[in-house]
Amino acid sequence: MMGFPNVPTLSYDVVVIGGGPAGMAAAIKAKELGLKVLLLDENDYLGGILPQCIHPGFGIHYFGEELTGPEFASRLAKKLVELGVEYRTSARILEIRNYSDLEKFVLFTSPSGLYGVWARAVIYAAGARERHAFEIGIVGDRVSGIYTAGEAQTLMDIYGVLPGKEIVIVGSGDVGLIMARRFALEGAKVKAVIELMHYPGGLARNVMILRDFGIPLYLGHKVVEVRGKGRVKKVKVVRIDENLRETGEEFWIEADTLVISVGLVPAVKKLKKIGVEIDPATGGPVVNDRLETSVPGVFVAGNSLLINDLVDYVAEQGEMAAEGAKEFIENGGIESRRWTRVEKGENIRLVVPHYLSGERDVYLYLRVSKPMEDVELRIPEIGKRLKLPVVKPAEMIRLKLKEEEIRGAGKLTVEVVRP
Amino acid sequence: MRKTYRFTCIVCPLGCSIEVEVEDGKVLEVRGHTCPRGKEWAIQEVTSPKRVVMTVLPVENGALPTVSVKTAEPVPKEKIPELMRFLASLKLKAPIKIGDVVTEWKGVKIVVTRGA
Amino acid sequence: MKTRVVIIGAGISGASTARVLSRYENLEVHLIEKAPDVGWGVSKANTALIHGGYDDDPEKYPTRARLCIKGNRLWHRWVKELQIAHIWNGALIVALRDEDFDELERLLERGRRNGVPEMRIVSRDELFHLEPGLTREAIGALWVPIVGQIAPIPAVIALVENAVANGVKTHLETKVRGIKVENGEIKGVETNKGFIEADVVINAAGLYADEIARMAGIDYFEIHPRKGEYWIFDDDVPGPRRVLFPTPTPISKGIVVTTEVSGHLMIGPNAQDLPPEEKENLATTKEGLEGVWGGAKKLWPNLPPRNKVIRTFAGLRPEPTGGDFIIKAEEEVWGFINVAGIRSPGLTSAPAIAYEVAEIIQRDLGIKLVEKEKWNPYRKEITHFFMLPPEKANGLIKKNPSYGRIVCRCNGVSEGDILEAIERMKFIGVKTPSVDSVKFRTKATTGTCQGSFCRPRIVHLLAREYGIEPWKVTLKGEGSEIGIGDVKALLRGDEA
């Protein structure tokens, strides 16, 4: 670690990193709770990724009505401004330092210079990044026409650039399907959606896009190679078997554009640098029910915590983190008489938070490993049983647990089983 | 002619597999739903499916090169290409703010969702 | 009267030669390149090593053996004069079996004959001291401390910037179609942009050096492409401190494991000989890359999971007939100098090649070279915001706020860095804006996310600074445009 930088310093109770839905909700809540808060965002405008998510489907839980991404963002931004929350855009974090439990230092750069912020707590809500073509082993020519879904979305829906006219989409998750619709609406031909798994990855309402526009979906297939000169000309698709191994069966699709939509990874490199423990299942930090990481006073929310499918939960996590920061600052720590560890049982891929204080009601966010029908979600330690007609990895399950159910349990194992 | 439509209901997270039996444009039977809302949705999907349409429109002199817009109400699915072609000829100038109605198409308001 | 020199090819050899020749009063130097920017051919994709000079057999490959060590020594000065990112970290040629020592002894002996200083065989204990992460199966190594690494494209850019500052004229996107020879002497080159007069032509055309030579009637050699594939990993993956080679076999130098100058673990290359007509085949292959992975694992067992891969790529090496560099003035065409077959260790040898060419001009063409009174050997590196200490960064931002705005979040590249890169592109004559030109100058888009966040912003900046529509900005030159039109282009039916 370098010496203490000679830059102007600011002082706050809590600094929120990231001005997307999680960060804005956190900053608003922190302000409402009476904390002195500063929000920092690296983009030129607030909202994170929402301003380019121009489709509806946001806010049904959080605002009680269906909004588009930019509308959801603008509601939060309006509230932020009305409350007088201090924020800076075009402000990129360079480093987080953890001097002690109640002394955090955040170094950031902006067009008005470098600044250091002293804060007692940090709420990290910097979102996620997309996995790209190289990560999934696509070989061949390195040509133009290969975009992640988010990049294609930025080009189209922020900069007004149409990337291509014959499109192959890798991944049938929500983002991939939504981009399929955007391309189709603007007159491009979406030739195929290619999905590795043997079931679609997106929410049912988005899978419906395929039917609306007559787009073929190839389940149990993967794109392995791209060929072209200057620009993508064709992509090679292979069929894979039940064990996700490549069969010899393959074919080429002619297209000028390959859109990669194969999932998000929490953007937590700067947290790792200060020693925050990461859960390999979520790719985000291990947290307690205040969404505090393993570094006291550092909280995390939104897609930096775990990849969500609904922005409503992202905003909810922002508020939870703000409440955590409030308690941390007032009491000098997040306390529990006895921490309860949450463990993954059968058919559970991930569950957050990892530790419960038993001092309050909580939401568990969890995903199953594989789709199942007519199952029960169970927590045997407390005799909890919940019938679920259908579970899918694409659909996060949010489960409320009461304070009294958790208190003193020591350990809770969440499982999804056939009754 | 008798035809069976199958789809996953999107009214709630249950995602029921619904089948709708249709003959000469008339719904004969709906199967697989668990609630009346699902049934209603399924019938509409078969008889007159509608969608909210969203797009971006280029804008001059804005903070960003585009504004995003949506239809104020769902429009019949088969009319969407026509609507998109209509929108393709629009040229907008900043300032434009969220909530503004930039144009109307066959009585459907086109509402700005992200200004510039 | 000035002698007009046309250098064909702005790769590491042509750029080095341009720089060296820019020093002389009585030369007018033109640097021709078919790509939109410099360093995009063979120089772009290789192992980026400044070799030690022990590898080339002086009997079989006398030119390689002579110029490699000389080039290595010259790079030690050039990287400072031109502020080229580099690291002198030394190489270990690792023995895994007892019989490997026989080969290492041979290399040691050859290195001594070639004049390589400070080489020695190290024991197992010292080996792990030098390189703790190495496979436990290693039993010793040849230690070559003078080996280093540089960033090859930034090196070419630095050389060309320096050459242009000293009066060299560049002609980018200029493809040579013919060479005019009259009465056995060079008259000039025909290009897609017109005729360029020349008294001397230097053929530094990399993979196409054989085709260019044939245009001058010289056909005694052929260049065939040899493909090498590589993996690069995220910068939080631990890599070695030294350049690690396996003990070479008669067939191959083997897969190198190294931490390249930007701090990323890199493994490669394999070697696959392609037919002469496949000089644009830069496609990676599954089989090739898996072979590299397996080879690298023998030296570096802790290769990370595949989701830590940030990039795979392939490069082509120009393999000449006979295997040795072909650097000479051709007697049958006065004024035609070949700098051909510059395969490995070409990057290392480049400065020595350049001085060799100057000597050939004097010695074989009889042109006495007169040094300029004022020649600037220095070139200032582009600003890399992420490398500045906070106090210095703040000073810069106060003068120019765009340095405070981060565009590439993974590598901390600021808008100021990018605008500076665009200025430098224009300075050396880049006319077609491309994201790659910005990438090679600033490192933007080369981090964890591989540009998915910042590429659209870079496109936006390039479009603005070059005064064109954003969809016309290219990824890597004409034919690789970022888009096909504005978002309504297809609906309006006026598709690009």
Instruction: Give C284's Cβ-side CA count (13 Å radius).
Output: 25
**A37 CB contacts (<8 Å, ≥6 apart)?**
A12, A13, A14, A15, A16, A27, A30, A31, A85, A86
Taking a C-beta distance cutoff of 8 angstroms, is the pair A158, B67 a contact? no
Question: For residue range C156-195, what is the model confidence (pLDDT) as tens digits?
Answer: 999 999 999 999 999 999 999 999 999 999 999 999 999 9
- Cβ within 8 Å, pair B68-A56: no
* Shortest CA distance from A89: residue in chain C: C405
Residue A284's region, left for phi above 0, alpha for psi from -120 to 50, else beta, is beta
- Cβ within 8 Å, pair C488-B66: no
The arithmetic mean of pLDDT across residues A253-260, rounded, is 98
- Cβ within 8 Å, pair C492-B89: yes
Chains touching A by CB (3 or more pairs below 8 Å): B, C
Read off the tokens for B44: 């509409």
**C167 CB contacts (<8 Å, ≥6 apart)?**
C22, C29
Q: A399 forms bridges with which residues in the sheet?
A: A364
Q: Angle at CA C153, nearest 5°, toward A258 and C212?
A: 90
The arithmetic mean of pLDDT across residues C11-38, rounded, is 98
Mean pLDDT, rounded, of chain A: 96
Question: For residue range C188-205, what is the model confidence (pLDDT) as tens digits?
Answer: 999 999 999 999 999 999
Q: So what's the pLDDT on residue C252? A: 74
C contact test, residue of B69, B80, B85 with most C CBs within 10 A: B85
Helix locations, A143-261, DSSP H: 149-157, 174-185, 204-213
d(CA A228, CA C400): 41
* Shortest CA distance from B11: residue in chain A: A205
- Which residue in C326, C29, C320, C273 sits closest to C160, CA to CA? C29
**Minimal Cα–Cα distance from B76 to chain C, Å?**
19
- Cβ within 8 Å, pair B80-A185: yes
* Shortest CA distance from C453: residue in chain A: A151
Taking a C-beta distance cutoff of 8 angstroms, is the pair C66, C223 a contact? no
Read off the tokens for A236: 């090679």
Residues in A closer than 8 angstroms to B51, CB to CB, are: 212
Q: Does A131 touch chain C (CB under 8 A)?
A: yes
**A73 CB contacts (<8 Å, ≥6 apart)?**
A20, A21, A24, A46, A47, A48, A50, A51
Q: Kindly report the backbone phi and psi dihedral angles of residue B3, in degrees, each rounded to the nearest multiple of 5, phi listed first.
A: -140, 145
Q: So what's the pLDDT on residue B13? A: 67
Q: Angle at CA C146, nearest 5°, toward C142 and C147?
A: 75
- The residue written with tokens 């530790």 in the block is A355
The torsion defined by the Cα of A281, A287, A292 and A293, in degrees rounded to 10, comes to: -60
C-alpha dihedral sign at A240, A246, A249, A254: positive
Mean pLDDT, rounded, of chain C: 96
The arithmetic mean of pLDDT across residues B96-104, rounded, is 97
Q: If DSSP codes are grouped into helix, strand and coil, which group holds residue C119?
A: coil
**C315 CB contacts (<8 Å, ≥6 apart)?**
C42, C44, C45, C46, C227, C228, C230, C269, C282
The amino acid occupying position A66 is: E
Percent of chain A exceeding pLDDT 90 equals 93
**Minimal Cα–Cα distance from A150 to chain C, Å?**
7
Q: So what's the pLDDT on residue A390? A: 87
DSSP string of C325-354?
Answer: -EEEE-TTSBTEEEEE---TTHHHHHHHHH
Closest partner residue to C491 (CB to CB) among B65, B66, B85 is B85
Q: Does A186 touch chain B (CB under 8 A)?
A: yes
Q: Angle at CA A146, nearest 5°, toward A145 and A148?
A: 130
Q: Does C495 touch chain B (CB under 8 A)?
A: no
Q: So what's the pLDDT on residue C1? A: 83
Q: So what's the pLDDT on residue A2? A: 59
Question: For residue range A86-144, what is the model confidence (pLDDT) as tens digits?
Answer: 999 999 999 999 999 889 999 999 999 999 999 999 999 999 999 999 999 999 999 99
**Minimal Cα–Cα distance from A165 to chain B, Å?**
16
d(CA B75, CA B103): 15
The arithmetic mean of pLDDT across residues A343-368, rounded, is 97
Residues in B closer than 8 angstroms to A54, CB to CB, are: 54-56, 68, 70, 113-114
A185: pLDDT strictly greater than 90: yes
Q: Does B44 touch chain A (CB under 8 A)?
A: no
* Shortest CA distance from B58: residue in chain A: A160
| Catalytic, out of C51, C86, C224, C264 | C51
Residues in A closer than 8 angstroms to C479, CB to CB, are: 144, 229-231
Confidence at A1, pLDDT banded by 50, 70, 90: very low
C51 is an active site residue = yes
Residues in A closer than 8 angstroms to C306, CB to CB, are: 135, 137
Residues in B closer than 8 angstroms to A204, CB to CB, are: 8-10, 15
C433: pLDDT strictly greater than 80: yes
Q: So what's the pLDDT on residue C496? A: 45
The arithmetic mean of pLDDT across residues C215-239, rounded, is 96
Q: C-alpha distances in angstroms, C145 versus C52, C89, C112, C148?
A: 8, 7, 14, 8
Q: So what's the pLDDT on residue C434? A: 98
Q: So what's the pLDDT on residue A394? A: 86
The arithmetic mean of pLDDT across residues C5-28, rounded, is 98
C-alpha dihedral sign at B40, B46, B50, B55: positive
> What's the complex ipTM?
0.96
Q: If DSSP codes are grouped into helix, strand and coil, which group holds residue A340?
A: strand
A375: pLDDT strictly greater than 90: yes
Q: How many of the other CB atoms lie within 10 Å of CB of C87? A: 18
The arithmetic mean of pLDDT across residues C421-433, rounded, is 98
Closest partner residue to A162 (CB to CB) among C282, C475, C486 is C486
Chains touching B by CB (3 or more pairs below 8 Å): A, C
d(CA C88, CA A371): 54
The H or E element containing residue C210 is helix C209-215
- Cβ within 8 Å, pair B88-C486: no
Closest partner residue to A110 (CB to CB) among C404, C470, C478 is C404
Taking a C-beta distance cutoff of 8 angstroms, is the pair C242, C90 a contact? yes
Q: So what's the pLDDT on residue A97? A: 96
- Cβ within 8 Å, pair A54-B114: yes
